[in-house]
Amino acid sequence: MGWTESVQALEQKVEGMLRGTYRPQDGIPFFRVQYPPAQEREALAKLHLFADRLSQRGWPTEIVSLTEILEKALCDLLGVPPSGLSARLQEWEQSLDRPELLDMLKDSLPDAVVGVLVDRLKEVPKESVVVLVRLGALVPFVRSSTFESKLESKVQCVIVLPYPGTTLGAVLDVAAASAQGGYYRGETIPWQ
């Protein structure tokens, strides 16, 4: 299954769910689209076209960058405007040892990122599709399984989450082993 097949499968399932003729796995309107990490640019291009096609068919669709969501969450956590974020992070990095800083961010960022995204999507109607791009911006602070589990039941729209990876099983279908919890719900459109 390459790009053509992956995007066709995604479109079929998303539109079927929006029309009420398809029920996603677990009843959760999340779709992860798996793709080879080396094809990040291609993924962005294909998902923009996917969003355009859905919009042309009358389904409100938007693309949201998780890089922007992360920046807003960090600014909120640190109490600084975007222009002061870099300096504040450098201060933290110099005043704390690296493992301590990483632990603080891993503890705080999952809830902060989800909070910013939920706030951003609170006015989005149920019949909408939101494609969340740049998942890699959250690594290593927020696991995608934790992100999805914290997002579940807080948004009413369909979520499409492009996922860079080429294997299933250990990565996408196993319960999380961390204290953050989380596991993958919804459906994965696998890359083959």
Q: In angstroms, rounded to a whole number, what is the distance separating the alpha carbons of residues 39 and 163?
A: 11
- For residue 153, give both structure tokens: 């039941």
**pTM recorded for the entire structure:** 0.85
Per residue in 133-151, pLDDT (tens digit) is 998 888 888 888 888 888 8
Look at residue 22 in the predicted model and tell me its pLDDT. 93
Looking at per-residue pLDDT, the higher value among 108 and 129 belongs to 129
Q: In angstroms, rounded to a whole number, what is the distance separating the alpha carbons of residues 102 and 15?
A: 40
Nearest 5°: the CA angle 75, 180, 29 is: 85
**What residues have CB less than 8 Å from 113, skipping those under 6 apart?**
66, 69, 70, 73, 138, 142, 147
**What residues have CB less than 8 Å from 51, skipping those under 6 apart?**
61, 62, 63, 129, 131
Quickly state the pLDDT bin for 30 (edges 50, 70, 90): very high
By residue range, what is the domain housing residue 160?
3-189
N-terminal to C-terminal alpha carbon distance within the chain: 5
Look at residue 161 in the predicted model and tell me its pLDDT. 93
Of 52, 63, 66, nearest to 11 (Cα)?
52
Number of structural domains (the chain) is 1
